[in-house]
């Protein structure tokens, strides 16, 4: 194997690195993130985080152009968050992403916000239900449960 081949990451490795970096960025921005959260509609958010003010933020990781083109469900996350962003690796062709959501560029060590995610506040009752479900999910995981579902 030559040295250049060692630099090419597989799609799962890219996903893992971008997810880790985006989670680290969210924590640095004072959010509490959880990975792989199944929403009430059955969709799975790559990252979901809550701020000190109670804002819910969902981040969808895109590991490749093919991943973005074959997975167009991101609009189905919007009813479950106050803010939504894509997170991509530095080499991702960012010009193909929609301009409405936020944009994070991340690697395995951290990330940067290139475009702020617009804040669209949830209705109070939905926010309360989602926040309680998020707290329960975090507590179950902290106790060793492999839980992923917001109930």
Within-domain flag for 80? yes
Is the whole-model pTM more than 0.75?
Answer: yes
Q: Is residue 54 part of a domain?
A: yes
Q: Is residue 147 part of a domain?
A: no
- For residue 150, being part of any structural domain is answered with no
Question: How do strand 102-107 and strand 83-88 relate by DSSP bridges?
Answer: parallel
* Residue numbers of the domain that contains 59: 3-142
pLDDT in tens, 84-128: 999 999 999 999 999 999 999 999 999 999 999 999 999 999 999
Q: Is 52 a domain residue? A: yes
Task: Look at the chain and report how many structural domains it folds into.
Answer: 1
Structure letter (DSSP) for residue 139: H
As given in the structure block, the two tokens for residue 45 are 């958010």
Beta bridge partners of 109: none
């Amino acid at each position: 194997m030559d040295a250049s081949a060692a630099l090419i990451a597989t799609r799962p490795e890219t996903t893992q690195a971008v997810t880790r970096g985006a989670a680290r960025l969210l924590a640095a921005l004072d959010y509490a993130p959880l990975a792989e959260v199944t929403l009430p509609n059955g969709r799975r958010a790559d990252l979901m985080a809550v701020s000190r003010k109670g804002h819910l933020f969902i981040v969808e990781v895109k590991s490749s152009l093919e991943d973005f083109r074959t997975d167009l469900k991101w609009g189905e996350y919007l009813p479950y968050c106050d803010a939504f962003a894509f997170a991509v690796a530095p080499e991702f062709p960012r010009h193909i992403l929609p301009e409405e959501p936020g944009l994070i560029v991340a690697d395995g060590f951290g990330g940067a916000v290139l475009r702020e995610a617009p804040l669209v506040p949830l209705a109070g009752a939905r926010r309360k239900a989602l926040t309680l479900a998020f707290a329960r999910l975090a507590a179950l995981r902290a106790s060793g449960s492999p839980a992923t579902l917001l109930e």
